[in-house]
Amino acid sequence: MCMKLLAEGNTLQLVNINFDTIIFTLINTLIIFLLYKFLLHNKVMAVLDERKEKVNSEMNAAEAAQAEAEAVKQEYAQRLEQSKEEASQIVAAAVKRAGEREAEIIAQANQEAAAIRIKAEESIELEKKKAINEIKDQIADIVIMASEKVCEKEISAKENEALINKFIAEVGNE
Amino acid sequence: MPNGYMKLLAEETARTFTVDGPLKSITFDFLGREWVISESVVVQWVVMVVLAIFFFVLGRNLKVKPTSRRQMIAEYIVGTFTGQVDDAMGPNYKAYRPYIGSLFCFIFLSCIMGIFGLRNPTSDVSVTGAWAIITFVLVFWTKLKTGGVKGFLKSYVEPAPFMLPFNIIGDFANPIAQALRLFGNNVSGMVIGGLVYFALGGIAGGLASIGIPAVLSLYFDLFSAFIQSYIFVTLTMAYVSMADAS
């Protein structure tokens, strides 16, 4: 086996510096650079930047929404507390008012009852007086009637007395 | 070495093994001289078409709310390059994000073209040299931009004036080493792959050449390609950020 270095017509040397190849390689590298930059790099970076921005803004929005929700929640809790207080106040007031009203009603009823009783007593008294007056009138009439009868008949004192007694008994029966 | 061609002769079998430079695919006259488009450039065009389709498909129809696996891949690729550049160079070098990404894609695909039976453009020192020239220019530009003319000149006499020649050599050595590292790795992979294929061809009437070279190809074409592309872009980032005077 031996090693020889040979030259052939249509090829460049294995180790040679060829000006044309350098120039074309530089041009090709520039083209690849531009292709990579504009077909892939810039597009991907634009999407990444856009996504970054979007994530940032969404996170900010989420934070703001959370803060808002927290505030609303606090407000509602406060309001709930307030309304509870108000409700208990209302109930207390209602109870108080009801108590007052109760006392009022009872007092009024007592008053009315008293008035009714007084009226009743008055009317009883009146009736009584009326009845006494009527009795008195009747007695007078009867006395007159009895006197007439006494006058009509000749009667003894003894008879008279019996008559009067009889009369009185009649009156008492009436 | 009068010429860069290697030919391995197995005299008993009269079989030969050669490693050629890139073909002169097209020649044309322009601006009063004959221009040569070598095989390396033609294969680069293939790479460019593939990458253009790849970038176009990946970058199409992206949504803020990702719905496709395609978009996740696109975001992963761009995000990885962006993260690498930001880690290595800091936030002042956002403009390098697309350059590093595109360069990595270009180098990696150029390194794996051997899988498809094409000659790797990275097996041509003119190609890797062109990328190193870009690095060289970027380093100089960064030095001038961040330090001004004064800072630029001062950087050559630091830390001590006697370092001047070493600093100048260093500025040129870095990109040359970068170019040769990528070239050497690729061409050695190509030579070793070819040698193994050639040697196995003599065993069992060529049947042995099925399968074993595939394993080698997996290493040299995929693993090594990835590592070398990564090293190349990492060194580019490192050289540029080292040139930053601020």
- Per-residue pLDDT of A27-86, as tens digits, reads 999 999 999 999 888 888 888 898 899 999 999 999 999 999 999 999 999 999 999 999
Token pair listed for B216? 């080698």
Is residue A3 scored above 60 in pLDDT?
no
Q: A2, A18, A53: best mutation site toward chain B, by most B Cβ within 10 Å? A: A18
**Predicted confidence band at B13 (pLDDT cuts at 50, 70, 90)?**
low
Is residue B1 scored above 50 in pLDDT?
no
Is residue A13 scored above 80 in pLDDT?
no
Q: Do B131 and A25 touch (CB under 8 A)?
A: yes
Question: In the prediction, which pLDDT does B197 show?
Answer: 76
Question: In the prediction, which pLDDT does A5 show?
Answer: 36
**Predicted confidence band at A123 (pLDDT cuts at 50, 70, 90)?**
very high
Q: How many other CB atoms sit within 10 Å of the CB of residue B135?
A: 22
Question: In the prediction, which pLDDT does A154 show?
Answer: 60
Q: In 3D, which of B142, B69, B80, B68 has the Cα closest to residue B105? A: B80
Average pLDDT over residues B39-44: 88
Q: In 3D, which of B188, B33, B51, B41 has the Cα closest to residue B126? A: B41
* DSSP-assigned letter for residue B13: T
**Predicted confidence band at B94 (pLDDT cuts at 50, 70, 90)?**
confident
Is residue B103 scored above 90 in pLDDT?
yes
- Inter-residue contact A14 to B20 (CB < 8 Å): yes
Q: In 3D, which of B243, B241, B196, B245 has the Cα closest to residue B84? A: B241
Is residue B68 scored above 80 in pLDDT?
yes
| A84 in contact with B, Cβ within 8 Å | no
Token pair listed for A88? 């208990």
| A9 in contact with B, Cβ within 8 Å | no
Strands (DSSP E) found in B39-193: none
Beginning with the edge strand found earlier in the chain, give each strand of the sheet holding B6-10 in spatial order.
A2-4, B6-10, B15-19
Q: Left if phi > 0, otherwise alpha if psi is -120 to 50, otherwise beta: which for A133?
A: alpha
**Predicted confidence band at B3 (pLDDT cuts at 50, 70, 90)?**
very low
At B120-130, the pLDDT tens digits run 888 888 899 99
| A30 in contact with B, Cβ within 8 Å | no
Question: In the prediction, which pLDDT does A168 show?
Answer: 75
Q: Closest approach of chain A CAs to the CA of B59, in angstroms?
A: 4
Q: Closest approach of chain B CAs to the CA of A61, in angstroms?
A: 18
Is residue A99 scored above 90 in pLDDT?
yes
Question: In the prediction, which pLDDT does B207 show?
Answer: 64
Q: Do B23 and A51 touch (CB under 8 A)?
A: no
Chain B CA closest to residue A1? B10
Average pLDDT over residues B36-49: 89
Distances (CA, A) of B224 to A18, A169, B115, B186, B232: 25, 159, 13, 8, 12
Q: Which of A38-47, A133-142, B44-53 has the highest mean pLDDT?
A: B44-53
Higher pLDDT, B240 or B32: B240
Q: What is the pTM of this model?
A: 0.70
Higher pLDDT, B134 or B191: B134
Element (H, E) at B139: helix B125-154
In which residue are the tokens 């009024």 written? A108
Beta bridge partners of A2: B9
| A51 in contact with B, Cβ within 8 Å | yes
Q: How far is CA A113 from the centre of its chain?
A: 39
Question: In the prediction, which pLDDT does B152 show?
Answer: 83
Token pair listed for B150? 């004064």
Q: In 3D, which of B11, B67, B25, B130 has the Cα closest to residue A26? A: B130
Average pLDDT over residues B89-94: 84
| B96 in contact with A, Cβ within 8 Å | no
Is residue A132 scored above 70 in pLDDT?
yes
Q: Do A35 and B48 touch (CB under 8 A)?
A: yes
Average pLDDT over residues B112-118: 82
Is residue B105 scored above 90 in pLDDT?
yes
Q: Do B40 and A20 touch (CB under 8 A)?
A: no
Using CA atoms, how far apart are residues A130 and A40, in angstroms rounded to an integer?
128
Q: Do B102 and A32 touch (CB under 8 A)?
A: yes
Is residue A6 scored above 50 in pLDDT?
no
**Predicted confidence band at A7 (pLDDT cuts at 50, 70, 90)?**
very low
At A77-91, the pLDDT tens digits run 999 999 999 999 999
| B 110-169: CB under 8 A from A | 121, 124-127, 129-131, 133-134
Higher pLDDT, A6 or B105: B105
Is residue A8 scored above 50 in pLDDT?
no
Q: Closest approach of chain B CAs to the CA of A84, in angstroms?
A: 48
Is residue B5 scored above 60 in pLDDT?
no
At B211-223, the pLDDT tens digits run 666 777 777 778 8
- Inter-residue contact B193 to B216 (CB < 8 Å): yes
| B 16-55: CB under 8 A from A | 18-24, 35-38, 40-41, 44-45, 48, 51-52, 55
On average, the pLDDT of chain B sits at: 82
Beta bridge partners of B102: none
